Structure 1
Amino acid sequence: MEIMKAIIMLVVILVAFPLVMNGQETEYNVETESVSTHVDKILNGPINKEGLQQMPYKLWFNSNYKTYRVNTDLLKDAKKKNIKNLKILAFMGTWCHDSNREIPRLMRIMDDMGIGDQLELYALDVDKTSLKGKEKGFDIKNTPTIIFYLNGEEIKRVIEEPEGSFEEELVRILK
């Protein structure tokens, strides 16, 4: 009888473990209701390019991403640096016009540099909060807030828009 209980318990554990682990995977591009009067839904929590390329977000994302001309001359030297140690954490609002303009530009530059996977992107609601609470401890007051890390250390924040361009910011950061 004890052996039967042990076998049943083992089966329960083997079945339940993958279900529990699967529930811990990051869910991207979650839509929630908006309190803003000019949009019905917003993205909230971790997001990626695929989420921004869906309606209605693709209306502003695709046009800003595709039409932005990356200053490749300015980035020539930056591309030669050890850019693998650069990480970017960005908080944005799909309801925010500054985010709608700046985040596609930043993503275009990072894709051009071959480091698009080094961007971690979170969408916030109008109260600057997210479903996962990732923004806690980062003192986010405006969107977008883009935090640059080099070798794990925060070295720069761009709030709302860069001084000049993101290319100029990257050149300064990677000196």
Structure 2
Amino acid sequence: MVKLRQLIAGLMTATVLVSSTTPVDAQKRSVGVASLGEMSCQNIEKGKYEAINRDFPVGLQMFRGIAKVYTHGDFIDNEYTSQVVCRITEAGQRSKYKTLNLVFGIADNNKRVNGALVRLSVYRDGNFYKYEDVTKGQLSTLPIDVTNVRSIALEVECKRGTVKNKNRCPELIFFQDILE
């Protein structure tokens, strides 16, 4: 009876150890799929694109943030635009990707969220493509055709500041930036 208890306890301990070393959020990507964060990207002026791995509440749901765009700390100053440019295809090479899928929003718990309006504008090879405005509780999905596109630029602007500070908006959080 004692040996059976020891065996069961040993199996339970081994199970806990093995399961705790398995990455819960890890996903195997298909061949030909990449993340924008893996590309050669450059911040412009005050803009910052930073890779992260943290949970954020948006629309009373929890999502894993993979990157954020801001000008200072955890906010976007309305005097500056936050810009980042990423090369997705080397010069002279054929494009490997057809679509860039972006999913983004503003964290519900950011102290600068109430009343703020943040705009994400997308440029393909330096030419304006489209924009999407985001407010508190909104998770936006933006598929972008990148067929024969060499570079993508993201521009984030504070279009309307918060109730407390009209000159600042919360950082924009990306939950997906997949090139397929």
- What range is the shorter-chain TM-score in? 0.3 to 0.5
Identify, as 1 or 2, the structure richer in helix: 1
Q: Which has the higher contact order (CA 8 A, sep 6+)?
A: 2
The alignment's TM-score, normalised by the length of structure 2, stands at 0.37
Identify, as 1 or 2, the structure richer in strand: 2
The alignment's TM-score, normalised by the length of structure 1, stands at 0.37
